[in-house]
Amino acid sequence: MNYSYYEIKSYVLQPIELEDDELNFKVEILKHHNSNSVQGQLWRLETYRVQPSFVSDMQADESIYVQDSHTIPDLQNQIFNNEEICLQFIISELEKLFSHSK
């Protein structure tokens, strides 16, 4: 099976404090298999309340990362020369977007 890219690094970013909540993001750096260029993917930590399938009075809160294509919409079209430039671009975009929240 052929592939287009593979993950070379993952970064869990510091939480972004909001007025009554916080946002948690993870960045994955992906390397294109036929070049030295890299691309970034942004993931957001979400918590879901689920009812167990067995008989129980309690509900469970489960946290999972979901791919976030809305916070930085143009990210999927961005190609970078190296992972540091990619990571700094994503951090900068998040800081611009959420700087008013501090």
Q: Please report, in tens digits, the pLDDT of each residue of the chain (102 residues total).
A: 677 889 999 999 999 999 889 999 999 999 998 898 999 999 999 998 877 777 777 777 889 999 999 999 999 999 999 999 999 999 999 999 998 755
CA-wise closest residue to 27 among 81, 74, 88: 88
Q: How many Å apart are CA 79 and CA 34, to the nearest integer?
A: 13
Q: pTM, whole model, 2 decimals?
A: 0.84
Q: What is the pLDDT of residue 1?
A: 66
| pLDDT at residue 55 in the model | 72
Range of the domain at 82: 5-101
Residue-level pLDDT at 33: 86
Q: What is the Cα–Cα distance from 72 to 84, expressed in whole angstroms?
A: 17
- Count of structural domains, the chain: 1
